Amino acid sequence: MKENLVIIPTYNEKENIEKIIRYVFNLSMPFDILIIEDGSPDGTADIVKRLMQEFPDKLHIIERKGKLGLGTAYITGFKWALEREYQYITEMDADFSHNPDDLIRLHDACANGADVAVGSRYKTGVNVVNWPMGRVLMSYYGSAYVRLITRMKVRDTTAGFVCYTRKVLETMDLDRVKFKGYAFQIEMKYSAWKLGFKIEEVSIVFTDRVEGTSKMSGGIFREAIFGVMNLRWRGMMGKIKPRQADK
């Protein structure tokens, strides 16, 4: 049985990938890393494979052919983690917009009773650095819209820095997760909430990437916002898999 896994999707992250891997491995708490690499033409996979020789038991990679979507990357990683019996599985970006030091805080929240720990930009106001005001407002009020429609109490519904306990991912029917972009983040939280799991927000400071190119686009954000009504309808119609009884 293994303890902690960090799943990091990558596409053209050669400027960041080695630094983020070494940073995580230097934390006081041990974490393994799984890279889900979507065919980066910039050589990201080659950097990871070189580092795997240095960290053969802690660093892993799954290579996919082309950009298949953030949601499918994480679902692939979740299934891989469950097969290897990891207890705490965390999503994290490769570009240092999520501070790796906060991995420990997310783990501790789950170890102390939460089923899902969300690295929240909006738990205590707006903790975002280097975003233009328009993007901050779109994200902040987008989360408010999601709360209004779904009735979830989570303040940062689109957060992508999230730790799941094993039992949450085992209970969900991961093959029925619909969304591939940032709406995936909403769907996962909503599904966990509908299944009765405890979600705790851990306040973090989100810092926009310094190196590399952002993957955010208007289409991704529109999927997140306009997919919410469909998500609520699916929940009302009972299409979210019910929680299994404890054995």
pLDDT in tens, 163-211: 999 999 999 999 989 888 778 999 999 999 999 999 999 999 999 866 6
Contact assessment for residue 164 and residue 198, using Cβ atoms and an 8 Å cutoff: no
116-120, strands of its sheet edge to edge: 59-63, 32-37, 2-10, 86-91, 162-165, 116-120, 199-203
Contact assessment for residue 128 and residue 206, using Cβ atoms and an 8 Å cutoff: yes
Number of H helices, E strands in the chain: 8, 9
Share of the chain above pLDDT 90, in %: 66
Sorting pLDDT into bands at 50, 70 and 90, what band is 220?
A: low
pLDDT of 105: 98
Contact assessment for residue 58 and residue 25, using Cβ atoms and an 8 Å cutoff: yes
pLDDT of 223: 63
Token pair for 167: 């039992």
pLDDT in tens, 39-68: 999 999 999 999 999 999 999 999 999 888
pLDDT of 247: 35
Torsion of the alpha carbons at 154, 222, 11 and 66, rounded to the nearest 10: 120
Average pLDDT (60-82) is: 95
Beta strands in 114-222 (DSSP E): 116-120, 128-129, 162-165, 199-203, 206-207
Tracing tokens 């509908």 back to the chain, one arrives at 194
pLDDT of 240: 56
Contact assessment for residue 205 and residue 129, using Cβ atoms and an 8 Å cutoff: yes
Please report which helix (H) or strand (E) contains residue 6, including its range. Answer: strand 2-10
pLDDT in tens, 130-163: 888 888 888 888 888 888 888 899 999 999 999 9
